[in-house]
Amino acid sequence: MTASSNLIFYDTETTGLLKDFAQILQCGSIQTDRNLDILNEQNLGCAPLPWAIPHPMAMVTNKKTNLFHSNVSHYELMRDLNRQWRQWTIDEPATFITFNGMAYDEELVRRQFYWNLFESYLTNTNGNGRLDILLMMNNVAAFSPDVLNIPLFNGGPGISLKQADIAEANGIEIGDAHDAIADCKLMIGLLKQINAKKPELIDFFLSISTKPGVQAAVQQPGFLGLGEVFRREIFKYPVVPCGNKAPNDLMFFDLSFEPEEIFEMDTQEIYSLVQKPSKSGPFKKYGINKTIPICPSSMIDNKDIFDMDFAILEKRAEQVRGNTDFQALVSQAMADKIDNWDNEYDHIEQMIYAGGFPSKQDKELMADFHRIDSAEERIKICRNIADDRHRLFAERLICQFYPQEAPEDMSNRYQSLIAQRLNEEGPWGSMSKVMTELDKLLEKDNSSETQTILEETKEFLTQRSILIE
């Protein structure tokens, strides 16, 4: 797989940390070429949704209280973001690059495209790929520490992979931390440092930003170096793929274990090891649809890093790759595992992965919804959407766009939503708890800037509470 030459860095600032309910207030995007030269930028901000409860510490961190009074709606932000990203990927698929995005920013963007009736999976469809620099840094810290100075956390012995800490340790100007555009420039700066010393490492990670790219990389001869940072400690594993579970799970075998000894285990023992993989065990599970912190053994300069001769590791890799019965057993053990998580949700924000993809008819209706700017027509479209989730999201948008024209049943559900979110405690948080925390923070000896942000946040939330009384 060839590396992408169309790169899109993005970052978000939000009302809080709850992925299903936190709202994007700012999204910054920067398009670069493979040389990491900036081609285009987009910086979007919007007001909080009528039912959003901005968390005080989130606002202290991002300092975006000016957006409390923005005339731009959340729908407009997500619409403009969708348009720009599609424009940037018309001629060539892109790799979308984040820092800790797989765990947070990517999930927020997916969900909020979903809330606003847009295609949720823009970043990993139509040839587009995703790269999480934080996960890439796990591999850099393990196998290429010479390309970046990885700082210690509070003097050690653990390391810090916090973006600002790495940037500072490498002389990269931090700028306005926790501003989306500034954080994008930080990411570009980090990759420029690596690119100057080991460009092939970036090319490799860009090549595995898609599922086909991962599949091609792990099937190459030899073994892979898997780097993980856990509780600020670096772990290094020589691995080879040994099984998979459709559609996205991939299992690696740790070659520091003697393969023949594992092959000789009975089925139940292997099942147990596969279904409960641990850092000390022979199996490591990763999602093929996410950044995996691996690199080919050929990119590992220190041949003594595993305290085992590379020739022995390569021989063991051949043993695992050649044992198709073992691979089938591992794959079956992965498939037979029972997932013990609750798939029943009470709120549509939580249902992005629970209700399947929209039908062709619903997709066409949602496209019409965006195209037509008419209360009457949008209400008709909304009534015809079959999927309850998308129909209710369409209702919310209608009530925001056309409060006077919204039908009574839609308006009643909308007002009930706002009252519930602001008055009741739920998975979205609690207004009363946030206000209590705000008051406690205001009593602390904070900087004048922090005090101002907290006071502005309190005023905003107080006014929001008054509106529903």
195 and 263 within one domain? no
CA distance 140 to 101: 18
**Is the Cβ–Cβ distance between 161 and 141 less than 8 Å?**
yes
284 and 304 within one domain? yes
pTM: 0.94
Whole-number pLDDT of residue 177: 67
Go through 303-337 and write b for each residue having 16 or more CB atoms within 10 A of its CB, e for each that does not.
Answer: eeebeeebeebbebbebbbebeebbebbbbbbeee
CATH assignment at residue 300: 3.30.1520.20
166 and 28 within one domain? yes
Q: Is residue 423 part of a domain?
A: no
Q: Is residue 421 part of a domain?
A: no
173 and 127 within one domain? yes
Whole-number pLDDT of residue 424: 95
CATH assignment at residue 65: 3.30.420.10
Q: Which of 200, 220, 251 is the last residue of a domain?
A: 200
Whole-number pLDDT of residue 277: 86
Q: Is residue 233 part of a domain?
A: yes
Tokens in use for 241? 């793929």
Calculate helix-pair angle for 180-197, 133-143, nearest 10 degrees. Answer: 30
Q: Is residue 262 part of a domain?
A: yes
70 and 141 within one domain? yes
Measured in Å, how far apart are the chain's first and last C-alpha atoms? 59
Q: Which of 200, 221, 237 is the last residue of a domain?
A: 200
**Could you report the per-residue pLDDT of 238-248, keeping only the tens digit for each?**
999 999 998 89
363 and 258 within one domain? no
CA distance 122 to 112: 12
Whole-number pLDDT of residue 342: 46
Q: Is residue 243 part of a domain?
A: yes
Q: Is residue 180 part of a domain?
A: yes
311 and 172 within one domain? no
Q: Is residue 425 part of a domain?
A: no
- Among left, alpha and beta (phi > 0; psi -120 to 50; other), residue 406 is beta
124 and 50 within one domain? yes
169 and 27 within one domain? yes
Residue 324, amino acid: T
CA distance 100 to 82: 21
Q: Which of 200, 233, 268 is the last residue of a domain?
A: 200
Whole-number pLDDT of residue 241: 97
Whole-number pLDDT of residue 302: 93
53 and 134 within one domain? yes
Could you tell me the residue range of the domain that residue 439 belongs to?
A: 431-467
Whole-number pLDDT of residue 343: 56
Residue 286, amino acid: Y
CA distance 135 to 100: 7
CA distance 189 to 191: 6
When divided into structural domains, the chain yields a total of 4
Tokens in use for 371? 């195209």
% of the chain residues with pLDDT over 90: 89
51 and 22 within one domain? yes
Please report, in tens digits, the pLDDT of each residue of the chain (469 residues total): 566 799 999 999 999 999 999 999 999 999 999 999 999 999 999 999 999 999 999 999 999 999 999 999 999 999 999 999 999 999 999 999 999 999 999 999 999 999 999 999 999 999 999 999 999 999 999 999 999 999 999 888 999 999 999 999 999 987 776 789 999 999 999 999 999 999 999 999 999 999 999 999 999 999 999 999 999 999 999 999 999 998 899 999 999 999 999 999 999 999 999 998 888 899 999 999 999 999 999 999 999 999 899 999 999 999 999 999 999 999 999 998 655 444 568 899 999 998 789 999 999 999 999 999 999 999 999 999 999 999 999 999 999 999 999 999 999 999 999 999 999 999 999 999 999 999 999 999 889 999 999 999 999 999 988 765 5
Whole-number pLDDT of residue 1: 52
Task: Give me the sign of the Cα torsion angle 377, 379, 383, 388.
Answer: positive
181 and 62 within one domain? yes
Q: Is residue 331 part of a domain?
A: yes
